[in-house]
A and B are shown apart, each in its own frame.
Chain A
Amino acid sequence: MNRRTPLTPYLFIFPSAAIFLLFIVWPALQGFYQSLFRRGVIVRNDIPALAAEFVGLGNFRQLLHDERFLAVLGRTIVYTSVTVPLVVLVALGLALLLRDTFPGVGIVRAIVYWPSMVSLIIVGISWKWILGFESGVANYLMTQLGLAKVPWLLDPTIALATVVLVSVWATAGFFMVIFIAGLNAIPDVYYESATIDGCGSLQLFRHITAPLLKPTTVLVVILATINAFKVFEQVIVLTDGGPGRATVFMVQNIYEEAFRHPFGVGYASAQSVVFFFIMLLFAFVQFRMTRGGEA
């Protein structure tokens, strides 16, 4: 290593990197390797019924023709493309609303952040209570108002929209908190001098807030994207992938293949490999286009 390259950054990164390598990267590589086989959860080459069968790229070839897989993949990408802008806007709006300190702001922030404090399963359950077709609060109110019951979770298209909205609701608080930290990092000095110069609220936002918030915004967009791709728990509770298979997304597909279909672990691994590279591509493009958030 030449003298110019500092050792310090590597040392500072080392603890995190070591944990990643040991506990995530190494098993993930094994997961990649798994995708080259047809196998179950347990592999024992001394027991014929449980031996792993090497199929090379066979699982991947099968994926190309798997209509169900392709449909699920497409749906997941569409879902992500719709959810991410929504959640970023909502989170930013909430952050602008709740960045100031007024009496009770802590409680309000906690209420908005609450969905992150409970598991997504509880989030799903509480929305199911609201949106249940026959007995839910929403449809009860509709009937009281003389309107028809809405098939929130029964109609394929409406169910998709419902899942998007519930997910936005469930994750906005988390991103709001990040935005608040980012917003409050912008020194007051800039706002003060700009106001003295006669700038209005909108101009303040356009010329000061937005540019200085860029690193945070990039963070939120990339995290929200990865998060949206991995949607799972709340969907299981809300629709279980239904009606029919209209709201099945990638993680559910992978999970079912690995744990419900006998000897599906190899195929599920292949799916997760493809899925990984697609997410990687999205994140890479976002990262590059925004230069990692550097101002």
Chain B
Amino acid sequence: MRSPLRTVKAMGVLVAVAIFLVPVLWVVLSAFKPGSELATYPPRILPVHWTLANFSDGFRFGNFARYFLNSGFVAVTSTVLSVVISTMAGFAFAKFRFPGRDVIFFAMLATLMISLQVILIPMFLTLKQLGLINSLWGIIIPPAATPTGIFLMRQYMMTIPDELLEAARIDGATNLQIFARIMIPLSVPVISTLTIFSFVWRWNDFLWPFLVINDDRLQTVQLALANFVGQYAVKWGSLLAMTTLSMLPMLVIFLIFQRYFLRGISTTGLKA
């Protein structure tokens, strides 16, 4: 009886790929089209004349090698920081009872509901007072606290059986040991998830870098991409080309870490 279900699933996968792939293909393939082909009628996905001019033009526009390094440094460092503090906070919210727990959690969640546009200046002034302006740390630290990440960790850790922790406590384990030896290993799928998310968020951040960075040499890739949008026209070719390149690190991180979305990790925990 498994066969029909498998066929249905296979078809579903194909449909999903088709629906999601077309726009991706357009972006990537358009990067190889000369300017005159970008807006042809009838529309074409494939370029007629393949060209690398958009890429070379893009690099001419700015020191993208450096921008990629900046973005990379920021994304990696901020992700490490974010995963650590979110896992810690998630653990606290999921496995402890303490006064103000739900209020604090909800307050953290509520920070997602603030419209950042109207507080750009107060945010900027705070960053300035802390000396974080024009420093990559200004875009590493502030965004590392993410309500989504904490929420993710909390929900996941709630599914880890309390019995495991009880058993460990009876054996005399400290909270730190429980955290390190039980929670983290059992949370590998969600930590991988958060790693991917955090990397992507930091890589694609525009608001924080815009506020913090003034020096051109500290720009991130996203800031540099904004320069392709001129006063009168958008340099589509270069924008699409550099966007395509910009996707690659995230793709790599995704493919690496999604392997850890493994099934049934929890079962090994029960045996320990």
A–B interface present (Cβ within 8 A): yes
Residue numbers of A with Cβ under 8 A of B are 5-6, 8-10, 12-13, 15-17, 19-20, 22-28, 30-31, 34, 41-42, 93-94, 97-101, 106-119, 122-123, 125-127, 129-130, 134-137, 140, 169, 173-174, 177-178, 180-182, 184-189, 201, 212, 215-216, 218-219, 222-223, 226, 229-230, 250-251, 254-255, 258-259, 265, 268-269, 271-272, 275-276, 279-280, 283-284, 287, 292-295
Q: Is B272 an interface residue (CB 8 A)?
A: no
**A9 to B176 Cα, complex, angstroms:** 11
- Which residues 240-272 in B have Cβ within 8 Å of A in the complex? 240, 243, 246-247, 250-251, 254-255, 258-259, 261-267, 270
Do B204 and A119 have beta carbons less than 8 Å apart? yes
Is chain A's interface secondary structure helix, strand, loop, or mixed overall? helix
Q: Find chain A residues with CB under 8 A from B42 CB.
A: 140
Do B24 and A111 have beta carbons less than 8 Å apart? yes
Q: Is B123 an interface residue (CB 8 A)?
A: yes
**A42 to B183 Cα, complex, angstroms:** 48
**In the complex, what's the smallest C-beta–C-beta distance from B37 to chain A, in angstroms?**
12
Interface string of B143-187 (1 = CB under 8 A from A): 011001011100110110000000000000001000100000000
Q: Is B26 an interface residue (CB 8 A)?
A: yes
Number of residue pairs across A and B with beta carbons under 8 Å?
Answer: 280
**A25 to B22 Cα, complex, angstroms:** 41
Q: Is B71 an interface residue (CB 8 A)?
A: no
Q: Is B52 an interface residue (CB 8 A)?
A: no
**In the complex, what's the smallest C-beta–C-beta distance from A83 to chain B, in angstroms?**
16
Do B148 and A223 have beta carbons less than 8 Å apart? yes
Do B85 and A15 have beta carbons less than 8 Å apart? yes
Name B229's closest neighbour in chain A (CB-CB): A121
Q: Find chain A residues with CB under 8 A from B65 CB.
A: none
- Which residues 113-136 in B have Cβ within 8 Å of A in the complex? 113-115, 117-119, 121-123, 125-127, 130
